[in-house]
Amino acid sequence: MADANPVALVTMHGVDRRRWRRPIVRNRIDRVTTRSGDAGATSLADGRRYAKHHIAIEVVGALDEANGFLGLLAAGTTEFGEELALVQSRLFDAGAAVATGGSAVDWEAETGRIEEMTERLNESLEPLAEFVLPGGGEAAARCHVARTVVRRAERTFWLLAEDKPALAKTGIGGWLNRVSDLLFVMARQLADEERLWQPAGTR
């Protein structure tokens, strides 16, 4: 109960006991069904209503989808649990930035963390002579799917950022780019075998 607040000191049978007041914690989500989006529009944290086909909603959706695929990946392997959880949390931060139009996260530092992970995992891998075919086992295949969804999130982010200079300057686009690199290396680490692209006419 280290986060509670002592409000009084009372004596019971010669033993000091504290009464504690628990801190007030406001629920972030208290309702799931709101019906506010049934007509094809939804709200973001900036207070505006957006058509559900608006590019901002596409970006938030792509980030959410990437997070879901990372969760699927994490559920199917015991590898990279801490790294994947970190990326998932930052994906939520990226979605929050899109929803509000800005971010207090140090995305340059976060990008550096991803680069360090990628370099560390890549050290033990053999150099590639050709592109890798997505696959190599279930965990590796899931990782490749997550990688491609992150790539899509990056593309849609830059499309939105064309009209939002403040968002473009956050560094989220570069971070997403590095995350897809990390997932590529993770997929190679998880692969039971690697099959390389054979260009037409080479067999």
Structural element, H or E, at residue 187: helix 172-190
% of the chain exceeding 90 in pLDDT:
57
Mean local confidence (pLDDT), 180-200: 90
Mean local confidence (pLDDT), 48-75: 88
Average pLDDT, the chain: 82
pLDDT of residue 32: 57
pLDDT of residue 13: 43
**CATH, domain range 51-190:** 1.20.1200.10
pLDDT of residue 68: 97
User: Could you tell me which residue, 52 or 33, shows the higher pLDDT?
Assistant: 52
Residue 161 dihedral angles phi and psi, to the nearest 5° = -65, -20
Residue 104 dihedral angles phi and psi, to the nearest 5° = -95, 0
Going by their DSSP bridges, the two strands 5-12 and 15-21 should be labelled as antiparallel
Mean local confidence (pLDDT), 158-162: 95
Nearest-angstrom CA–CA distance, 71 and 142: 10
Q: What Cα–Cα distance (Å) separates residue 189 from each residue in 45, 118, 124, 130, 139?
A: 38, 11, 9, 17, 10
% of the chain exceeding 70 in pLDDT:
74
Mean local confidence (pLDDT), 114-129: 92
**CA nearest to 141, candidates 69, 78, 54, 80:** 69
Mean local confidence (pLDDT), 3-28: 45
Mean local confidence (pLDDT), 87-107: 94
Nearest-angstrom CA–CA distance, 187 and 128: 13
User: Could you tell me which residue, 189 or 41, shows the higher pLDDT?
Assistant: 189
Q: Could you tell me the pLDDT band of residue 193, with boundaries at 50, 70 and 90? A: confident
Angle at 49 (CA atoms; ends 43, 50), nearest 5 degrees: 95
- Write down the H helix ranges in 51-137: 55-75, 81-100, 107-122
User: Could you tell me which residue, 47 or 140, shows the higher pLDDT?
Assistant: 140
Q: Which of 18-27, 62-71, 104-113 has the lowest mean pLDDT?
A: 18-27
pLDDT of residue 19: 46
Say yes or no to pLDDT of 103 above 50: yes
Sequence ranges of the domains in the chain: 51-190
